[in-house]
Amino acid sequence: MAKIGLLIDSIRDDIEKWLFDLPKIGQRARAWKYREALHLLPGEVAIDLGANVGKMTRRMAGPGVTVYAYEPDPYAFKVLSNTFKEKEGIVCINKAVSDHSGMAKLYFDSRVKENKVEWSIRSSLLVDKPAMNKDDYTEVELVDIAEIINRIDKPIGLIKMDIEGEEIKVLNRMIDLGLTEKVRNIVVETHERFPTLTEPTRKLKERIYDLGIGNIDTNWA
CB proximity list for 5: less than 8 A, separation 6 or greater: 209
Give the strands of the sheet with 90-93, arranged side by side. Answer: 90-93, 66-70, 45-49, 156-161, 183-188, 216-217
Q: Give the pLDDT score at 24.
A: 74
Phi and psi, residue 148, nearest 5°: -60, -50
* Residue 210 clears pLDDT 90, i.e. is over it: yes
Band (pLDDT 50/70/90 cuts) for residue 16 is low
Q: Give per-residue pLDDT as tens, 132-190.
A: 999 999 999 999 999 999 999 999 999 999 999 999 999 999 999 999 999 999 999 99
Q: Give the pLDDT score at 12.
A: 67
163 against 3, higher pLDDT = 163
Element housing 209 (H / E): helix 198-210
HSE of 107 in the Cβ direction (CA atoms, 13 Å)?
A: 17
Mean pLDDT for the chain? 91
Q: Give the pLDDT score at 141.
A: 98
Is the pTM of the predicted complex or chain greater than 0.85? yes
CB proximity list for 155: less than 8 A, separation 6 or greater: 41, 43, 44, 45, 184
CATH second-level architecture of 43-99+144-217?
A: 3-Layer(aba) Sandwich (3.40)
Band (pLDDT 50/70/90 cuts) for residue 5 is low
Domain boundaries, the chain: 43-99+144-217
Q: Measuring CA to CA, which residue among 101, 98, 160, 147 is closest to residue 126?
A: 98
Q: Phi/psi class of residue 106: alpha, beta or left (left: φ > 0; alpha: ψ in -120 to 50)?
A: beta
